[in-house]
């Protein structure tokens, strides 16, 4: 029979246990200050738009925007209760981005003389309110992100269904040359935006279970470890789905988004650069063939390579929009014309596809750099949340969700500035569109939930300091 531990031994053991606890109030108080500052920036931007465009203040629109501020504060209060350790920077960042988008869409409404529900700014305010409420619901319902891994196959079928809905003849509809929308009565929605969230959950859950066979087996060729033929199935399936989107839905941007998301998550899960090289070769080959076979893809490439060619400039869906956007950016210069003082309305779809050009004209290069800085900070926080997680599913999901935002920003701004061909994706949180807003706010809510889980999960650390190793139990 062994003796029970002595009091001195228990005291020694207890003294080696150090709880590294963050004070949740500090994180939330910091978030509260930043959120109030963000709401003030948004209200100031809307007021400057009104003064610049009309010379007067419309209190009714400011009241609607202030109502959104109340909802955002409500989300902050919800986080104090259900996610007290969540990242304090994400909510203020998306508040500023979403608010600047509302201000610019409202500015274009003033130029076009739109009012009421026909005004894009009013619709954007309503959709923002809906998106915030849904994000609050996600935070309340998803109390542990690991639960989502159990529903990975449901997420897969949901993502595929959302991807295929616009192809149905009764509800699917084509806008601006792409078949991405469904219409039910007076309502229209782009289901592929929610599909990217569902597929990110599925990819994370699938790669957690399959990464060993995808990373450890294969032959080496030119210094790279190539996968086995049987392991190529998942990437070929996703590649085929991306090409189906490109051919049937006529949307290069969504095809690039889905395939790029899976490719990056595959690389993070396996650490094998051969997957990246193989995936880029597949997509590059598919895009090249599409540019030669599909006229709408070839037209985008021609407009990108030679936008000032009269044949491209005057063609339907040609480079007119691209050239107008470039002229708008040039007109803005370094510091911009000022909110409400430019002419962004003469660029087609300035409230959606080309909202970056509109903001660049009125805020200038300095304003665009500030917006890009916000995106960079958002993505960096997302990657930090992903890499700090201790469970593989959380790591992959965090990185995947952050990469979705990063890839969309790169593709949109790259197209507007003529770095790459235009693809038709929307700028996250800025561009007009209810489906995009809802999906992006859900992404933000999931990242907030992940960040709360990362900080509250147990952390085991070994300390020595020249003494016998001690086990320190704490939290991140």
Secondary structure of the chain as H, E, C letters: CCCCCCHHHHHHHHHCCCCCCCCHHHHHHHHHHHHHHHHHHHHHHHHHHHHHHCCCCCHHHHHHHHHHHHHHHHHHHHHHHHCCCCCCCHHHHHHHHHHHHHHHHHHHHHHHCCCHHHCHHHHHHHHHHHHHHHHHHHHHHCCCCCHHHHCHHHHHHHHHHHHHHHHCCCCEEEECCEEEEEEECCEEECHHHHHHHHHHHHHHHHHHHHHHHHHCCCEEECCEEECCHHHHHHHHHHHHHHHHHHHHCCCHHHHHHHHHHHHHHHHHHHCCHHHHHHHHHHHHHHHHHHHHHCHHHHHHHHHHHCCCCHHHHHCCCCCHHHHHHHHHHHHHCCCCCCCCCCCHHHCCCCCCCCHHHHHHHHHHHHHHHHHHHHHHHHHHHHHHHHHHCCCHHHHHHHHHHHHHHHHHHHHHHHHHCCCCCCCCCCCCCCCCCHHHHHHHHHHHHHHHHHHHHHHHCEEEEEECCCCCCEEEEEEC
pLDDT for 362 equals: 95
Q: What is the pTM of this model?
A: 0.87
Q: Average pLDDT over the chain, rounded to whole? A: 82
CB 383 within 8 A of CB 396: no
pLDDT digits (tens, 9 = 90+) for 236-249: 777 677 777 767 76
Average pLDDT over residues 369-391: 92
Q: Which of 37-46, 180-189, 208-217 has the highest mean pLDDT?
A: 37-46
Weakest-pLDDT range from 26-30, 126-130, 388-392, 400-404: 388-392
Average pLDDT over residues 152-173: 80
pLDDT digits (tens, 9 = 90+) for 405-417: 999 999 999 999 9
Q: Which of 16-20, 430-434, 436-440 has the highest mean pLDDT?
A: 436-440
pLDDT confidence tier of residue 185, bands split at 50, 70 and 90: low
pLDDT for 401 equals: 94
Q: Is the pLDDT of residue 231 over 90?
A: no
CA distance 459 to 475: 5
Higher pLDDT, 175 or 454: 454
pLDDT confidence tier of residue 474, bands split at 50, 70 and 90: very low
Average pLDDT over residues 278-303: 82
| 259: number of Cβ within 10 Å | 23
What are the Cα distances from residue 217, in Å, to 5, 211, 235, 237? Answer: 49, 10, 16, 20
Q: Is the pLDDT of residue 114 over 80?
A: no
Higher pLDDT, 73 or 307: 73
Q: Is the pLDDT of residue 473 over 50?
A: no
pLDDT for 102 equals: 95
pLDDT for 468 equals: 47
Q: Is the pLDDT of residue 21 over 60?
A: no
């Amino acid at each position: 029979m062994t003796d029970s531990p002595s009091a001195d031994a228990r005291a020694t053991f207890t003294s080696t246990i150090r709880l590294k606890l963050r004070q949740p109030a500090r994180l939330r108080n910091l978030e509260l200050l930043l959120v109030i500052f963000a709401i003030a920036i948004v209200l100031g931007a809307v007021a400057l738009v009104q003064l610049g465009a009309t010379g007067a203040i419309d209190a009714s629109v400011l009241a609607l925007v202030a109502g959104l501020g109340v909802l955002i504060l409500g989300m902050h209060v919800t986080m104090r209760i259900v996610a007290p350790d969540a990242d304090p920077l994400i909510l203020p960042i998306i508040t500023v981005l979403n608010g600047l988008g509302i201000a610019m869409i409202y500015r274009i409404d003033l130029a076009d003389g739109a009012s009421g529900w026909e005004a894009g700014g009013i619709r954007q305010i309503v959709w923002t309110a809906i998106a915030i409420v849904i994000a609050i619901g996600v935070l309340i319902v998803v109390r542990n992100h690991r639960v989502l891994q159990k529903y990975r196959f449901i997420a897969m079928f949901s993502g595929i269904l959302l991807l295929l809905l616009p192809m149905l003849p009764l509800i699917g509809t084509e806008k601006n040359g792409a078949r991405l929308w469904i219409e039910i009565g007076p309502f229209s929605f782009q289901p592929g935006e929610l599909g990217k969230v569902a597929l990110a959950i599925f990819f994370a859950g699938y790669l957690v279970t399959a990464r060993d066979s995808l990373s450890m087996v294969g032959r080496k060729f030119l210094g790279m470890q190539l996968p086995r033929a049987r392991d190529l199935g998942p990437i070929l399936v996703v590649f085929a789905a991306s090409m189906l989107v490109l051919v049937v839905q006529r949307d290069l941007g969504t095809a690039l988004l889905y395939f790029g998301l899976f490719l990056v998550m595959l690389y993070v899960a396996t650490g094998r650069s051969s997957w990246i090289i193989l995936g880029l070769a597949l997509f590059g080959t598919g895009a090249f063939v599409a540019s030669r076979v599909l006229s709408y893809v070839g037209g985008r490439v021609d407009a990108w390579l030679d936008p000032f060619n009269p044949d491209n400039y005057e063609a339907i869906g040609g480079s007119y929009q691209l050239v107008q956007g470039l002229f708008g950016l040039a007109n803005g210069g370094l510091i911009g014309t000022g909110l409400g003082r430019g002419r962004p309305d003469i660029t087609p779809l300035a409230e959606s596809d080309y909202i970056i050009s509109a903001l660049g004209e009125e805020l200038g290069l300095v304003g665009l750099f500030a917006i890009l800085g916000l995106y960079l900070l958002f993505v960096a926080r997302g990657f930090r949340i992903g890499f700090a997680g201790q469970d593989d599913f959380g790591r992959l999901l965090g990185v995947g969700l952050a990469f979705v935002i990063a890839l969309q920003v790169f593709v949109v701004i790259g197209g507007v500035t003529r770095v790459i061909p235009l693809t038709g994706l929307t700028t996250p949180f800025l561009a007009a569109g209810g489906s995009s807003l809802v999906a992006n706010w859900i992404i933000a809510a999931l990242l907030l939930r992940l960040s709360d889980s990362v900080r509250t999960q147990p952390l085991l650390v070994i300390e020595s300091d020249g003494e016998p190793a001690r086990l320190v139990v704490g939290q991140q």
